[in-house]
Structure 1
């Protein structure tokens, strides 16, 4: 059996695996990515890229391609509830920052826009970028066995078209191989939480629904046709391509309404949910899945790490799955590169778990809590499982009627939709992840308390452990974001008009430590001009202060003003972060 040697083996080529491949390749890390599948995703699965994820795509140089492959949220702002797509409309709601009272906050938070891009359109974009960067990605290559020792990881790989086996020997392995992770199982990762919380079937279909939906452009359409034992309605249509490609989800209770993942079972339900018998429907794929709420109790075991669905498994509420997976990769890729490049000790890699496991717990809890909102709406309308069609439509008539009962039900629905903001407008969950780990040099001050609900609202701060806030600047008559000040895969010092000593210190340390540390001064009259004054209001340092930003754009160190020895202070912070065991 032949043996191939590499520094990093990535198992899985979904969102987390492909993002890792691209980021490692860009940093010159010797890495191989394997996946048992023939190609990237053959169906939509996930379909929402939040602002933090699009910022990572911006960093990879493919932000425009992401927009071209999907629809900015402002183009498809609505979530719509109907009896069926041809029937009565019951309500609408604007989501993910498109409502008037939230739009400005989302625009102020990031240079990027939330985008509805299905996984089968997003993955090829990341794959193309990874390949252009020189990534080694091998399809049809299945991990069958993995072991590790003190020096590395040994993986047995089956090339499925020929049945040939070979061995990959790597210094580290990243398991990004999904909810049925071979890596997690064989490496002995433990999980807490529950499985089988519910059951669903997804259908990927082609059906021209423009005459039913183009006048009310949205990302999700919930149908609630009475008279069936459907759980959470009678089918949810998630937009893939306007207006003829859809991911349709049918949730069900197998005790009362068993459902096979077959075209024969799905087609009648699709026709009921659409409500127009003249619409041709082509089923491109069908798949069954279970609702879970599971989180790994650790993200690292020796030289093996897990990311994405291999580490956290939950329902699709809030659209957090693929986003969190890509953000896991953004966290670990620069750390692996630093260790393998000889600039950091292995102990730096412990911070991956310290930083990302709490995020995983948060998003699993948030998605699980949000699922109840979905079931509440039809209940308030008066639709329930076990009704006859006549009883269900009579309940809808009452809901819409000019009666005391109708008034009460409509008020209950409005209140339920307000609560449902926790499922569709949790900007703080998406953007406000704060880290506490050895990879952050605390400045001795407490993290700022939240002034508003920490899940609904994002509160930027420059406290160490927070993500670098976005503000628009002027650079040679071109508008740039503060996020653009951090070059790819590079530590960066950001200071102000009085901070030349920090700039000089960064240059000195770059030569001393052997890796680049960029430095930029931001302020009025400077090449990076804070022309609107927005940065001055949010930077939480003086014109002589300093922020040291990690390659993943998290703030590692902060000095409120110029210090007696900037080079020594930066050196101390970097040493503490990169060599926490020293």
Structure 2
């Protein structure tokens, strides 16, 4: 006999679990979230939020709160490589390279054209409390920190979990139809026998979260991250820093300094030793700083062999773990939660067969493999940059210093070295300008009806995104107007699980068919005719942005899912188009008992 019953039990209250709670609440799904920690994360590990994630947060009414707290675009336009932050030696505080990043500089136009949402930077220890507030507002009493799921069992109708209140020791049994494992891979996947396939875990990375005023030395108001290549070598010769806020640019006062050590090295992580390490690396021996946290992790590139076992779904770090390069960890986790939430809402609401839940793994697992591989590739590419400078592992310090001096020399070979270095540095756009990786992922199979078209060619460097309305792809962003207000195509889908059918001006047949089919299938379907004529009521493509990407005729239509991915399209309308639309809903929802009279 259970003490309580909920449709969904979420285990884990990090970014993935809290986002899932928000999304499920908006879908009208009752749930319970349990998190073993007393509070949200005190570590600032994940910090970059890409455009796709910000679109999702916009859909669920969170984006503006994030933007208010996060780095303005003007303070995250560049990433810099330097020899050191400060110092008075001849090779100190020299710029090696600067690259436009995250939608800044030369990348700004493409990022702005392809999304209504700029990417942004908000460290995890500030993002999670914000997500927690939204989760608690939507699910009063349904978010329980300092609670641990001790064990669980599955049967044909659901999961029984034993949950302990760590403050009181009280235990209770929670019965749930479905369990979402957002526990960071701590236990649930292992207990189900799910293997993590991949590589990594051999490199020790240490992160120091500290406060200091670095305005005098930080390499510019537009710089978010600085990577260092120390010509003096030593135990730590390559390291990096990222700004953490709460103010930004030259007003930033919190920082994370990341460095790695050779295997078998055991550092002194006491406050005094860490303070000395930070001062030494920055070449600021008298810097006034406060060390908040020191953390350690081993970068991995692993993906779960399965994202679903019975009624248990793995998401976030429980499903995939990758190096921090390209910032794909937390972003992928939130996108996992977004994908499964609307499907759970449809099934638990009675509008879809449980077969819809099979599409979670079919859609998200291939994306996870792509993202994990990409993150490891970008992470390792930093070694290519060092080689491009002429610096190699095990090289004597005097050789490294001579190499850096030659790089800055006024000789013809110095010019050649600088030209080579610039070309090699540019390859790190795979990390800092990965526009297509961030918003160009698509689903080949799943809750969609593929058509015979081929996907667009993808930029092998991950930068150039090509918007299409092909089924499985994210709906392209274009600005429309209605009643004088500007609306993104991505705003047409609301937070509560409805579908949108975007049509051309010849929409009368689609409106009638949409109403009939929606009523028969018990779904919310909004038909949105887009008419280029501003004198006609409705949505208007006043600047031609939608016309440039829609790939359908005036009598065609695009069916958009609740997560803003495209389920189906009819390039040209025809006598059987309504029947096709009805069949698409039957396929997605797995319903064989639906009758659409007159379709």
State whether residues 226 and 388 of structure 1, in contact with CA within 8 Å, keep that contact through their aligned partners in structure 2.
no
Pair 1:238-2:245 in alignment = no
Equivalence for 1:134: 139
Structure 2: how far apart are the matches of 1:198 and 1:170? 39
C-alpha contact (below 8 Å) 2:75/2:224 kept by paired residues:
no
How far is 1:134 from its partner?
A: 2.2
Residue equivalent to 1:108: 113
Asked if the contact 1:461/1:469 (under 8 Å) is kept, the reply is yes
Residue equivalent to 2:182 = 176
Paired residue secondary structure (1:251): strand
Please state how far the C-alpha of 1:270 moved relative to its aligned partner. 0.7
Partner residue of 2:581 out of 561, 567, 570: 570
Q: Tell me, what secondary structure is at the counterpart of 2:418?
A: helix
> Conserved in 2, the CA contact under 8 Å of 1:348 and 1:579?
yes
Q: Which runs of 5+ in 2 are unaligned?
A: 87-92, 594-599
Aligned to 1:267: 275
The RMSD of aligned alpha carbons is 2.0
- Residue 10 of structure 1 corresponds to which residue in structure 2? 10
Q: Supply the distance in 1 between the matched residues of 2:461 and 2:363 (Cα, whole angstroms).
A: 18
Shift of 1:260: 4.4
Tell me which residue corresponds to 1:219.
224
Shift of 1:146: 2.0
CA–CA distance in structure 1, aligned partners of residues 479 and 503 of structure 2: 16
Aligned counterpart, 1:529: 540
Residues of 1 paired with 2:375 and 2:587: CA distance? 35
Q: Is the 8 A contact 1:546 1:560 kept in 2?
A: yes
* 1:191 aligned residue: 196
Aligned: 1:502 with 2:510: yes
Cα offset, 1:513, TM superposition: 2.2
Residue 520 of structure 1: aligned partner: 528
TM-superposition CA deviations, 1:356-392 (whole Å, max 9, x none): 0000000110011112221233343344555665554
| 1:481 aligned onto 2:485 | no
Cα 1:37–1:360 change in 2 (3 A) is: same
TM-score of the superposed pair, with normalisation by structure 1: 0.95
Q: For the residues of structure 2 that align with 1:321 and 1:40, how far apart are their CA atoms?
A: 17
Asked if the contact 2:76–2:102 (Cα under 8 Å) also holds between the matched residues in 1, the reply is no
Q: Could you say which residue in structure 2 is the equivalent of 1:251?
A: 260
Q: Distance in 1 between matches of 2:270 and 2:85?
A: 22
Partner Cα separation in structure 1 for residue 391 and residue 456 of structure 2: 42
1:54-77: CA deviation from partner (whole Å, max 9, x where unpaired): 001100112111111111334321
Give a deviation string over 1:114-143, Cα, whole Å, max 9, x none.
Answer: 101111121222222222222511100112
1:155 and 2:161 equivalent? yes
CA distance in 2, matches of 1:441, 1:484: 23
> Whole-Å Cα distance in 2 between the matches of residues 383 and 263 of structure 1?
32
1:225-258 deviation per Cα after TM superposition (whole angstroms, max 9, x unaligned): 2334446x44311110131101111112124x43
Partner Cα separation in structure 2 for residue 94 and residue 581 of structure 1: 52
In the alignment, is the contact (CA less than 8 A) between 1:72 and 1:113 conserved in 2? no
Q: Is the 8 A contact 1:83 1:89 kept in 2?
A: yes
Question: Does the C-alpha gap of structure 1 residues 581 and 439 become closer, same or farther in structure 2, counting only changes over 3 Å?
Answer: farther
Q: Is the 8 A contact 2:363 2:446 kept in 1?
A: no
Q: Which residue of 2 aligns with 1:40?
A: 40
Tell me the distance in 2 between the aligned counterparts of 1:284 and 1:48: 20
Superposed CA offset, 1:461-516 (max 9, x none): 11111111100111111111011111222111111110121122222223222231
More deviation, 17-26/77-86? 77-86
- Which of 130, 142, 149 pairs up with 1:125? 130
Corresponding pairs, count: 577
Which residue pairs with 2:500 in the alignment? 492
Q: Which residue number corresponds to residue 25 of structure 1? A: 25
Report whether the alignment pairs 1:546 with 2:583.
no
How far apart in 2 are the matches of 1:309 and 1:229? 34
Q: Distance in 2 between matches of 1:132 and 1:211?
A: 42
Assess if the C-alpha contact under 8 Å between 1:464 and 1:555 holds in 2. Answer: yes
TM-score after normalising by structure 2: 0.92
- Alpha-carbon spacing, 1:284–1:263, altered in 2? closer, same or farther (3 Å): same
Offset, 1:566? 4.4
Asked if the contact 2:162–2:172 (Cα under 8 Å) also holds between the matched residues in 1, the reply is yes
| Corresponding residue to 2:447 among 423, 434, 439 | 439
